[in-house]
Structure 1
Amino acid sequence: MWSLLVICVVNALLILNTGALKIPRRSTKVPPGFVTTRGREFELEGKPFAFVGANSYWLPLLLTEDDVERTFKTMQEAGVKVLRTWGFNAINATELTSALDSGLTYYQVWNSSQWVLNDGPQGLQRLDHVISTAGKHDIKVILAFTNNWVGYGGSDLYVQWIAGAGQPHDVFFTDPRIIASYQSYVKTLVERYKDSPNIFAWELMNEARCLSDTLPAGPNCVPGSNTLKTWYQQQSDFVRSLDPNHLITTGGEGHFYWKKPLEYWYNHTLVSDYNYNGQAGEDFDHDMLLPNIDFGTYHLYPQSWYSELDFPGSNWTVENWGLQWIDEHIQAANNIRKKHLCELG
C-alpha cells in the first residue's frame, strides 16, 4: 500500500531578485497538461487543480510492467491524481552481480569518482515506463533526484566516492566536484522528461539534512550557516535553467530555525527541540522565499522524532503535535504567500 500524500494550499507570491545576477524564472505560459500556480491554487489547463496523492517511492522498483500497470489502475480507481517517487537508485560496482541476478532496478553504478549511468531495460527504461503509465491513468509524478539517507544509494555515495573517507555528510552540499556530479545526473533526468506533462514537479532531494544516517554533520553546517538554503538556491536555479515549465520543490522535512526555538522537558532536563532550532540545516521560513522553489514540503514522523515523549500516560500526544506541526507550516506559508505540500511518509 502507498503512503498518503496530502496537499495543503495557500497563496503564492512571485519573489523577484533585484540583484545583478540574472536568475532563470519559470515560464508564465506553460505547455498543455503542465501543472502551474495561480494565486491560491495549483492550476491545470486554466482550472484549479486540487488532489489527493500517494508517496509511492517504490514504484520504479517493481520488476514487471504488469505490476506497474495494475498499481496505477488501483491508484486511479482510488482517486489518486499525484504521486511522489524516486528518480534514483544507485549501487556500488560490487553489488552489480547481485542486482543483475535479482532484477533490481538501478540507475547509477559507482566504482570510481564518476558513476556509470544505466539507461537500459533494468535502469531508466523502467522509470520511463512509470512516467508514461502515469499519464495513461491521468496521474502526475513528483520525481526526487537523490536521497539524504543511505537507502537506495543516496548522497553519501557521492561523498564517499568523490570526497573520500573521513568527510562529513554536508560536503555533499558544498564540494564543487560533488555538486557537478549531482547536476550531471539531474540534467540526465530533466532533459529526459522536461517535455512530459506527466511530471508534476522536480524534487531536489529527499529530506536534506546536515547529517545522514551514516555520516555526521561537519562544522560548516550548523544553525544559521545557510548551507542547505544556499544549495537549494543553486540547484533550483540550475534545474530552472534546464526546464522553464515544471514546478520545483525542495523535498525537505520542513525543519524550522526559530530565534526562540521550542523546548520540552525530558528526564528532568529542558531540551532544545531539533525540529525548531536549526540543527537539521533547514530554515523553512526562509528556504521557501527562494525564487525557483515553487512550493514547500514538510514531513512528519512524531512517533520516531519524539519517542521519549510518546508513552502511555504522557500528556504529549502524536495527534496534538501533528496538528501543531501542520498549523505551523500553514502559518509559515501564509507569511510568505506560497503553497506548501505535506508528505506523510
Structure 2
Amino acid sequence: MRSIQKVLTPFKLIAMAKFGGSQLFLCVLALVAATAAADLPGFVERIGMTFQTEGSTFLFNGFNAHWLMGDAASPHSNGSKVTALFEEAAAAGLTVCRTWAFYDGFSNDSLQVTPGVYHEQVFKGLDFVISEARKNGLRVILSLVNNYNDYGGRAQYVDWARRAGLVVPSVDDFYTHDTIKGYFKKHIEYILNRMNTFTKMAYKNDPSIMAWELINEPHCESDPSGKIFTAWVQEMATFLKTIDNNHLLGVGLEGFYGSSTPDKVKLNNPNAVQIGVDFIKVHKVIEIDYATVHAYPDFWLKGQSEDKKTEFVKQWLWNHWKDSVEMLRKPLMLGGFGKTKKDPGYSEHIRNDFYSTVYDSIYRISKNGHKTFTGGLMWQLFVEGMESQDDGFEIILSQDANATALILNQSKRMGELAGSGTCTCTCTCTVA
C-alpha cells in the first residue's frame, strides 16, 4: 500500500498556513512532486470485507472530478489543470479520484462518437489522466457510462440504435435490448484493452486504476422491482470480469433500497422509492466487489432543515454500512457526497458542518467496524480558472483554507487507521 502518511508530514504546513500565500503553496507542491513519485503500486484487492493492497489494509480519502478527460484532451489546456489538480489533491492527502471514462455522442469533444468508434485525441486525454494520477500517487475509479443525458449517457446508446433503424421505445431499453447491450460490451472491451500511450500499459493491467464502475447513479423507472437492472448488472459484470479480473468492480448506485427489503424502503429519500434499483439485490451479484452509496441531501430533502438533513445522512450511512457487512458481506464506499451553494440558506459554515458529519461518520464506522467502511469521495474538486464550470458543489483547495483543513485531517486519520493493523473481517462487525 502507498500509505497516505507518506505525503502528510510536509503538508501539515498547509493546515498551519491555511494556504495564506501562493508562494508557500507552490513550495509545498514541490515537496509533493518529490514525495509522491512512488513506485508502481499493487492492485487494490477485496479480502473478506476490506480492501487491501500488497498485504496492507487500504483505506482512503478521495474526491470526484468528472471533467479531467476533457481538460486533458483540450488543445487550450493540454492537461495543465489535470496536473495542478492532482498535485493539490496529493498535498491534501487525497489518494483516490473518481472520474468519467465516457463521453458518448457526435461532438468533437466526445470519446465515443458512434458505437466502437473513438476520438484518439480524447482517448489520449484519458491516458494522460491515468498517467498523471500515478505520478502523484493517486488511484482512479473509472465510470463507464452515465445514467443521465450529460455526456451522452444511456440516451445516446438508445439514439444510436434508433439511427440504425431499430425500434427502441424507451431509454430503459438500454438494459434489455440485445444490440444496445452489445454496444456497451464493445465499449467495456475497448476501454479495458486500451494501451495507454503514456504508461505503455493496458488499462486492464494498470494498478493505478483502483476500480471500474459500471454506471453513474443508475435508474430504471419502468421496472420498480429492480429485476431488469439487476439482470443487466449480472450480465455486464460477468462479461467485464472475463476480460479483467485484476481490478475491483462496483456498480455506482446511490443506495436506494428496493423490493427485496420492503422494510427498508422507508429509509429512501421521498423521491426515490420507485427508480428501479435495489441496493441489496444488485450488490449480491457475486462479481461485484463492493457496495456504493451516495449522499446529496440538498437534492433529496429539499425544503427540510439542516438538522433533518444531517440526521438523515448519519442514518443513511450507518444503515448502508450495517447492511453491507451483515447482508452483503462486502466493503462499503461512499462514492459521492456534497453540499451545493445553490441551495437556499447555504453558507460555508453549513457546508463545513456537513463535511464534518460525513467524515466523522466514515471514520468512526471504519474504526469501530474493522475497516469495512473504506472511504469517501467528495463531489467535487476544481482548480483555479474553472469558474465557468461552476456546479455549486466545487471546492478549490488553494482558495478554501477551511475546507482544505477538513479534508487534510480526514486524509490523515484514515491513513493512520489503515496503518493500525490488518483485519480480514470474517467476524460480525458492530459499532459501539
Q: Same fold (TM over 0.5)?
A: yes
Question: Structure 1: where are the runs of 5+ without partners?
Answer: 1-30, 211-216, 265-270
- C-alpha distance in 2 between matches for 1:52 and 1:41: 15
Q: 1:295 to 1:272 in 2, by over 3 A?
A: closer
Question: Structure 2: where are the runs of 5+ without partners?
Answer: 1-39, 195-202, 338-378, 380-432
Structure 1 stretches of 4+ with a deviation exceeding 3 A read 163-166, 260-264, 271-275
Please list the CA deviations of residues 272-296 of structure 1 after superposition, one character each: whole Å capped at 9, or x if unmatched. 9444x4x111111121111110001
Residue 74 (1) aligns with residue 126 (2): no
1:262–1:273 contact (8 Å) kept in structure 2: no
Under a length normalisation based on structure 2, what TM-score does the superposition of the two structures give?
0.61
1:36–1:43 contact (8 Å) kept in structure 2: yes
Q: How does 1:159-174 map to 2 (within 5 A)?
A: 159-163=158-162, 167-174=169-176
- C-alpha distance in 2 between matches for 1:147 and 1:251: 10
- C-alpha distance in 2 between matches for 1:173 and 1:302: 28
1:330 corresponds to which of 315, 321, 326: 321
What's the counterpart of residue 128 of structure 1? 127
Q: 1:77 to 1:116 in 2, by over 3 A?
A: same
1:261–1:272 contact (8 Å) kept in structure 2: no
- C-alpha distance in 1 between matches for 2:132 and 2:112: 23
State the shift of 1:40 in Å: 3.8
Q: How does 1:47-196 map to 2 (within 5 A)?
A: 47-62=56-71, 63=74, 64-92=78-106, 96=107, 99=108, 104=109, 106-110=110-114, 114=115, 116-118=117-119, 120-121=120-121, 123-163=122-162, 167-192=169-194, 193-196=203-206
- Counterpart secondary structure, 2:240: helix
State the shift of 1:135 in Å: 0.9
State the shift of 1:225 in Å: 4.6
Under a length normalisation based on structure 1, what TM-score does the superposition of the two structures give?
0.76
- Paired residue type of 2:188: V
- C-alpha distance in 2 between matches for 1:263 and 1:248: 28
Overall identity of the aligned pairs, in %: 31
State the shift of 1:65 in Å: 2.4
Please list the CA deviations of residues 108-133 of structure 1 after superposition, one character each: whole Å capped at 9, or x if unmatched. 114xxx45211x22x10000000111
Aligned residues: 279
- C-alpha distance in 2 between matches for 1:136 and 1:321: 38
1:107–1:124 contact (8 Å) kept in structure 2: yes
Q: Which has the higher strand share?
A: 1
- Paired residue type of 1:310: Q
1:36 corresponds to which of 38, 45, 49: 45
Q: Which has the higher helix share?
A: 2
Residue 259 (1) aligns with residue 249 (2): no
- Counterpart secondary structure, 1:260: helix
What's the counterpart of residue 284 of structure 2? 289
Residue 246 (1) aligns with residue 247 (2): yes
2:215 corresponds to which of 197, 205, 215: 205
What's the counterpart of residue 310 of structure 1? 304
Please list the CA deviations of residues 134-188 of structure 1 after superposition, one character each: whole Å capped at 9, or x if unmatched. 1111111100000000001111111122146872221000000000001101111
- Counterpart secondary structure, 2:242: helix
